[in-house]
Structures are given as C-alpha cells and as structure tokens.
C-alpha cells in the first residue's frame, strides 16, 4: 500500500501529498546522502492537522517522499507555472538546485512511467474514489490540499513568503462562496496571507476542482516559519498553538459554508 486513507464523517478530505520523507532503500542508495534526508518535505504536517479528525474530516496520507514521485504534479510532467522554475514529476534536484541522484542514477523515461503506475496512480485512484463517495453521501466533496514550505526559497519566489497562501486556481477550483469564507478567516487572523499569489494550487487542486459538479478543491501552502524553527526543523509548541486555531477556522469554513 502506497497511502493511508482515514475516512471522515463529513464532506471534507484533507490530502497531504508531500508529508512523507520515506524513500525505498533501493532508490535511496542511488541518491546523494544529503538528498536521502528529503530536505524538501512538508515537515510535520500530519501532527499539525491531526486535530482535523475530531472535526469529522478525512485524511489521505502518502507513504513515500516527493523524491520518489511528486503526487501533486501532472502525469504528463507539465509545468504548472509556465515561465517559472518548478521541480519535475520525479524531481532531479532539490529546492536548492542540488542534484538528488548520484551520477548516472537518475530515472529514465521508462522508470518514471513505472513509478507513475506504482506510486502515483494508487494515491490518485483513492483520492478520486473518496471524492465520489463524499459527494454521494454529503452532496458536495471538498478536497483541502495541505502543504508547507520554507519561508525563503529563492528558486521559487523572491523575498519571504506570506504565512498563509491560499490557492483556488484563480477561482476555478471551488465556489465563490467558499473562497469568500476562507478569505474572511485569513483576513481576521494576525498572519500575512495571499490568495492565488505565487501558489495557485498544484495538479490536484486544478485537476479535481469541479465546483459545478459538486467537487471543490483548495490548496493551503503554509510557511514553515508559522509552526517550526526553520533552522533546526523543530516543532515549536507556542507557534503551533497560535496557528492551529486559524487552521481549524479554515477547515470549519470548508465544513459549514453553504455550497
């Protein structure tokens, strides 16, 4: 099994496609030692969102790192942000542009296709099936894509990232009512925020968001500075205690906003 699905008792499913740092040993052996630690993981998102189960939300968790395959990229390996730098379906470099693989060990096209079948497709089949179930059971399904990233990554954006980065594919992936409710939560917080800024939503948000068909998707890219010590990667209880109520209000908006 390449994922864990914890079904909820509501219309909301939280997907955390970059939250694992695990790599099969046979792949790790082909990587540079610094890449084996998966520095670009969305660190500690599962415990950060664990409270969501008490709200009735479901969780979909990957077993493997984005270095194995990026579950939030198009299977055709298209750049979601034309003209901007982006990592690939099977990343060849870290966010710091360091090569992931030892010389001659990067996957070829045939291996990428094999990884699609082995790792990517099962996660997406589970995501699609659960979205269909939620729509049938509750009338609507909402997929909340939970992500995090370092606050400063020059490869992808200038300066410091806002704390909360909501993406709705420029308004196409969810209803205006849901966008408005989520924006109201952000505006009432003490954190910096933006909607459809540098991060508008990845493949999952764009591919599965069909509000006219009752399936809504949003992505939240959270600055890791909001809950971690970025130098050490340590969990900071004080910061967590401040950000979790905001996350809870966002999830409650997903649960309660009329659609």
What pLDDT sits at residue 203?
98
Q: What is the mean pLDDT of residues 221-231?
A: 98
Say if residue 82's pLDDT is above 90.
Answer: no
Q: Which residues pair with 12 in a beta bridge?
A: 142
Q: In angstroms, rounded to a whole number, what is the distance separating the alpha carbons of residues 61 and 52?
A: 13
Does the model's pTM come out above 0.85? yes
Q: Is the pLDDT of residue 167 over 90?
A: yes
Average pLDDT over all residues of the chain: 97
pLDDT grade for 73, boundaries at 50, 70 and 90: very high
Q: Report pLDDT digits (tens) over 39-72.
A: 999 999 999 999 999 999 999 999 999 999 999 9
**Residue 205 and residue 167 in contact, taking contact as beta carbons nearer than 8 Å:** yes
Q: For 174-202, what is the mean pLDDT?
A: 98
Range 209-225 average pLDDT: 98
**Best CA proximity match to 218, nearest among 56, 11, 35:** 11
- The confidence band for 107, taking pLDDT boundaries of 50, 70 and 90, is very high
Alpha-carbon span 247 to 52, nearest angstrom? 9
Does position 79 have pLDDT exceeding 90, yes or no? Answer: no
Kindly list the structural domains of the chain, giving each domain's residue range(s) and its CATH number in brackets, ordered by start: 3-256 (3.40.630.40)
Q: How many whole angstroms separate alpha carbon 144 and alpha carbon 142?
A: 6
pLDDT exceeds cutoff 90 at 238: yes
């Amino acid at each position: 099994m390449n994922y864990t699905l914890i079904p909820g008792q509501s219309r909301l499913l939280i997907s955390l496609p970059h939250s694992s740092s695990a790599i099969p040993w046979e792949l790790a052996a082909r990587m540079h030692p610094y890449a084996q630690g998966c520095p670009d993981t969305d660190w500690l998102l599962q415990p950060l969102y664990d409270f969501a189960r008490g709200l009735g939300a479901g969780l979909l968790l990957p077993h493997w790192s984005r270095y194995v395959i990026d579950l939030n990229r198009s299977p055709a390996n298209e750049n979601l942000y034309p003209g901007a730098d982006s990592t690939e379906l099977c990343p060849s470099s870290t966010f710091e542009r360091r090569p992931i693989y030892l010389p001659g060990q990067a996957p070829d096209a045939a291996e990428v296709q094999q990884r699609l079948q082995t790792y990517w497709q099962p996660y997406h089949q589970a995501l699609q099936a659960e979205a269909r179930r939620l729509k049938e059971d509750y009338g609507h399904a909402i997929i909340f894509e939970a992500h995090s990233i370092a606050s400063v990554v020059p490869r992808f954006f200038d300066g410091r990232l806002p704390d909360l980065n909501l993406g709705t594919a420029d308004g196409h992936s969810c209803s205006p009512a849901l966008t408005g409710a989520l924006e109201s939560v952000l505006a009432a917080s003490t954190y910096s925020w933006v909607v459809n800024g540098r991060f508008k939503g990845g493949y999952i948000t764009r591919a599965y968001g069909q509000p006219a068909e009752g399936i809504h998707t949003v992505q939240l890219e959270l600055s890791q500075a909001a809950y971690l010590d970025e130098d050490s990667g340590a969990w900071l209880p004080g910061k967590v205690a401040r950000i979790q109520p905001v996350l809870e209000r966002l999830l409650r908006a997903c649960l309660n906003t009329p659609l």
